[in-house]
A = this chain, B = another copy of it.
Amino acid sequence: MRHFDEELDELRSRLLEMSGLVEDAIYRSVQCLVDDDEAQAQQVFRNEARINQMEMEIDGLATRLLALQQPLATDLRFITAAIKINSDLERMGDLAVNIVERALWLLREPGPMPLIDIPDMARRAQAMVRRSLDAFVKRDVALAQGVLLSDDAVDELRDTLYEELIRFMQERPAQVRRGVNLMFIVRNLERLADHATNVAEDVLYLVQGIDVRHHTLQEQPKVEG
């Protein structure tokens, strides 16, 4: 068996690779609407299949490390964080697929496309995924806290988008189905940001040993993500 540290590096780099696929999937899930390009949507399905495969492999690797190495303290906390992050990344892949299913309906059904700030929201969610994984790899507390604050900005954006889409549907009842599909895309982007937030919370717990999951950073000044 390889040295324990090499196995931990392997775990880290597999999670980074997986998050790269997730980021790509988030970007394409919305960009296919901007570019009117179904090929990008299809790539999201391929990414998800690969993400699912990686989830099982990473789970196997983490479980093997727990069983064979019987790690203590810090390493144990690292491996349990990896198991949770793995699960969050897998669900992010599912969310990108949910978005793309809505996007394909929108692409195929002719009608108005009030994307408003949806592409901006997708960019923010994607950046949160990247920064949360960076924070994990670098054990960077400030970076992880930044992700938590970005989540507040995403929630505000979501509220604005909901209001605009509700107005769109009220004014154009024949377009209710389009509006609903766009609202679900917004909802899924918000959930992607929530999963990145989960990852950032796991990083804070890993580095500081403090459980911030059910507390907020509201006391601190807001920083734009």
Contacts and interface: CB of A to CB of B under 8 A. Distances in A.
A69 to B, nearest CB: 10
B84 A63 contact: no
Nearest to A67: B76
A67 B73 CA distance: 7
Nearest to A88: B87
B173 A56 contact: no
Given A73-B67, A187-B187, A56 B170 contact: no
Task: Name the prevailing secondary structure of the A interface residues.
Answer: helix
Interface stretch (A26-34, A138-146, A147-155, A177-185): A177-185
A94 B66 CA distance: 30
A16 interface: no
A104 interface: no
A169 interface: yes
A176 interface: yes
A216 interface: no
Number of copies: 2
Contact of A180 (B59, B76, B166): B166
Interface string A51-63: 0110110010001
A211 interface: yes
Interface in A198-218: 211, 213-214
Given A87-B84, A166-B180, A214 B173 contact: no
Nearest to A174: B170
Interface string A75-109: 01100100110010000000000000000000000
A158 to B, nearest CB: 12
